[in-house]
Amino acid sequence: MGSTGTAAPAGPASAHERRSASDATGATLLGACAAWALVTAGAHGGSPEGVLLAVLAVAAGFAGGRICGALLPVAAPCAGAFAALCLAVAAPRLSIAPSSPLGHVGATAALLILSAGAACCAAWAARTAGARLVLRLLAAGVAGIAAALGSPVGCAGCVVVLLCSLAAARVRRRALGVAGLAVASVLVTGLSLAVADDALPGGLASSVEGGLGRHRVLLWQDAAGIAEREPVMGVGPGRFGEFSPAVSENLLADGKPHSAPLQQASEQGLVGLGLLAAVFGWLLYALWRSPGSIQVVLSAGAALTALAAVATVGNALSVTTVTTGAGLLAGIATARPLAEESPQGAAPRAD
């Protein structure tokens, strides 16, 4: 009997320790991203301010999401959904992304996807069927607004997030769902790297290039070439435009390759690329270890994975509101609502 009494709190204590380790890992990785940007800037010049601001935005959003998600598990993601939607609608007038031949579509699509993901998280956190229906209709409405704004990528991303959120009702082990999201991210990233390296078969390459646009493919190829010449440290943060022929030939270009992995590889080398991948992996791990429900976790994970796909083929992560929103959504999904806490520990969860 004595051994049974002492073993009871071991589960919650162990879960708390794992969450603490996850948070410490995330802080370490974000700090390493900031430090490496400063190192590469010191070695080759450049402007690390953009990377530092992105790191700060993710950290602040994550911390704010943890607090808001604990206090207001339904209202917080609902408010975030409306805020992201308003920003996406106002994006062209607020100049939310730099003017370039590729436009502001990536940032707009990312905000719409985050809005749909937040609405889906709020729906699963709601306690009544009526509230869940209204919030899912909000997510569907975001997809319709994306279509009206002329963002097919945003519309498709919102639909995928909503479908994944609905499908999460049948998932019994979150590890399988999170693993599927990780595989999807790897496939999209691998496809972009294959395009940049001109490694796709002729027919498939022409089809992909037609969807992406010739200018974007040229930027990617320039980024891959720069990464091959400077594989460890890159050419310095913010200096891609100085070494890219595609940028120099287009006066309207914004000096970015419009692909987060390729920008990291060209400007901060393979180390920077590895740190970017590690941060995304940490977000998925934090979702896996979250005390929240499987449905909330997978809804947020689907939105973050869709955002990663947009960032792989666009310039979304260069926009502070997008990185802040991503951190906020992850923080909300990994928060433990105060109403559910008890001396006996957290509610049971399925891995």
Name the residue among 312, 225, 242, 223 with its Cα closest to residue 276. Answer: 312
**Rounded CA separation 47/207 (Å):** 36
**Rounded CA separation 97/182 (Å):** 27
User: Could you list the mean pLDDT of each consecutive 10-residue stretch along the chain, which spans 351 residues?
Assistant: 42 64 92 96 92 96 96 95 93 48 70 97 95 96 93 94 95 92 95 90 81 87 94 94 85 80 96 96 94 94 96 91 96 84 45 63
pLDDT recorded at residue 41: 95
Q: Scanning the structure block, which residue is given the tokens 């209202």?
A: 75
pLDDT recorded at residue 101: 42
Per the structure block, which two tokens stand in for 183?
Answer: 């595989």
- Number of neighbours of residue 86 by Cβ within 10 angstroms: 12
- Helix spans in 8-48 (H): 10-44
pLDDT tens digits, residue range 181-207? 999 999 999 999 999 988 888 778 888
The residue type found at 196 is A
pLDDT recorded at residue 204: 82
Q: Are 117 and 329 in contact (CB under 8 A)?
A: yes
Q: At what angle do helices 260-288 and 320-333 cross, to 10 degrees?
A: 20
- Sequence-separated (6 or more) residues with CB below 8 Å from residue 157: 109, 112, 113, 116, 146, 306, 307, 309, 310
Q: Where are the domains of the chain?
A: 15-339
**Rounded CA separation 259/32 (Å):** 21
pTM for this model (two decimals): 0.90
Name the residue among 266, 264, 284 with its Cα closest to residue 274. Answer: 264
pLDDT recorded at residue 183: 97
**Rounded CA separation 83/333 (Å):** 17
Percent helix, strand, coil in the chain (nearest 5)?
75, 0, 25
Per the structure block, which two tokens stand in for 318?
Answer: 């260069």
Q: Are 184 and 164 in contact (CB under 8 A)?
A: no
**Rounded CA separation 174/52 (Å):** 32
pLDDT recorded at residue 3: 42
pLDDT recorded at residue 184: 96
- Sequence-separated (6 or more) residues with CB below 8 Å from residue 294: 168, 171, 172, 173, 174, 177, 349, 350
**Rounded CA separation 318/107 (Å):** 8
pLDDT recorded at residue 187: 95
**Rounded CA separation 187/309 (Å):** 9
pLDDT recorded at residue 90: 84
